[in-house]
Amino acid sequence: MYLILKNFHMILATLAISGFLLRGYWMMSGSSLRNNRASKTVPHMIDALFFGTGVWLIVESNLAWTQQAWLLAKFAGLLGYIGFGMIAFRFGKSSEIRMIAFVAAVASFAFVVGAALMKSPLSWFAI
């Protein structure tokens, strides 16, 4: 069960970042697709499933998540991804601020992936 759940979690991670990048492209190009109802609801559903499978993985593997520095780093990175994403797509006052926030959100997501793969709070710097 753990491997199935882990693979589903990784598929959801791929869908989450792919959708985020697509929405960023639409934002930069001024596409009306960015305001489509589906493009405003589907990412939240994917992100909720992504987060839910992450929590389920922690429960399934009996990890003491408060004692796992790499998991705490993942949660911190997730908060960064969400916060910067909100600035990029909703609260950014100018296109420059939105672009900086978009890049920061993608970097936060990359940090989360690195922390997961390396099992280290140093993420990709643990190599």
pLDDT recorded at residue 81: 95
Instruction: Give me the mean pLDDT over the 32-47 stretch.
Output: 91
As a whole number of angstroms, the distance between CA 116 and CA 113 comes to 5
Whether 64 has a pLDDT exceeding 90, the answer reads no
Whether 15 has a pLDDT exceeding 80, the answer reads yes
Q: pLDDT category, 61, cuts 50, 70, 90? A: confident
What are the angstrom distances between the C-alpha of 112 and each of 23, 37, 61, 83, 93?
20, 28, 19, 14, 27
The fraction of the chain above a pLDDT of 90, given in percent, is 84
Instruction: Give me the mean pLDDT over the 37-45 stretch.
Output: 92
Tell me the pTM: 0.90
Average pLDDT, the chain: 93
Instruction: Give me the mean pLDDT over the 61-66 stretch.
Output: 82
Instruction: Give me the mean pLDDT over the 16-20 stretch.
Output: 96
pLDDT recorded at residue 66: 81
Whether 101 has a pLDDT exceeding 80, the answer reads yes
Q: Which residue type sits at 95?
A: S
pLDDT recorded at residue 40: 86
